[in-house]
Amino acid sequence: MKSEYKIITNIIEKNTRVLDVGCDDGTLMEFLKKNKNVDIRGIEISKEKVQTCISKGLTVIEGNAEIDLKQFPNNSFDYVVLGQTLQAFINPEIVIKELLRVGKKAIVTIPNFGHWKVRLNLLIKGTMPITKSLPNDWYNTPNIHMCTIKDFVKFSKIIDFKIFKSLALVNKNVSNINNSNLFFKNLFAELGIFLIEKKNEN
Partner 1 sequence: MNTNKQIKTLQIKKPLKLDCGKTINDFPLAYETYGSLNQNKDNAILIFHALTGDQFVTGKNPVTNKDGWWSYAVGPNKSIDTNKFFVICANVIGGCMGSFGPSHQNPETKKIYGTDFPVITINDMVNAQVNLLEHFGIKKLFSVIGGSMGGMQVLQFVSNFPEKTKTAVPIACTSSHSAQNIAFNELGRQAIAADYNWSDGKYTSKNTVPDKGLAVARMAAHITYLSKKGLQEKFGRKLQERDDLKFGFDADFQIESYLRYQGSVFVDRFDANSYLYITRAMDYFDLVKQFKGNLSNAFINTKAKFFVISFTSDWLYPTQENKEIVIALNAIGANVGFVEIESDKGHDSFLLDVPDFLKALKNFLEKSYVEK
Q: Please give the C-alpha separations between residue 135 and each of 62, 111, 121, 123, 143, in angstroms, as whole numbers.
A: 25, 12, 13, 18, 10
- Could you tell me which of 17, 23, 56, 60 has the C-alpha nearest to residue 39? 17
> Phi, psi at residue 157, to the nearest 5°?
-80, -35
Q: CB-wise, 6 or 56, nearer to partner 1?
A: 56
Q: Amino acid identity, residue 30?
A: E
**Range 20-79, binding partner 1 (CB under 8 A):** 41, 47, 50-51, 54-63, 71-73, 76
Q: Is 15 in the site for partner 1 (CB under 8 A)?
A: no
Which is closer to partner 1, CB of 14 or CB of 47? 47
Contact 142, 153 (CB under 8 A): no
Task: Return the number of the residue (1 or 67) whose C-beta is nearest partner 1.
Answer: 67
Q: How far is the CB of 28 from partner 1 (least distance, A)?
A: 17
Nearer to partner 1, 59 or 131 (CB): 59
Q: What totals of helices (H) and strands (E) does the chain contain, helices first?
A: 8, 8
- Kind plus residue range of the DSSP H or E element containing 43: strand 39-44
> Under rule CB under 8 A, how many of the chain's residues touch partner 1?
19
**Which residues between 72 and 111 bind partner 1 (CB under 8 A)?**
72-73, 76
Binding residues for partner 1, rule: CB under 8 A, are: 17, 41, 47, 50-51, 54-63, 71-73, 76
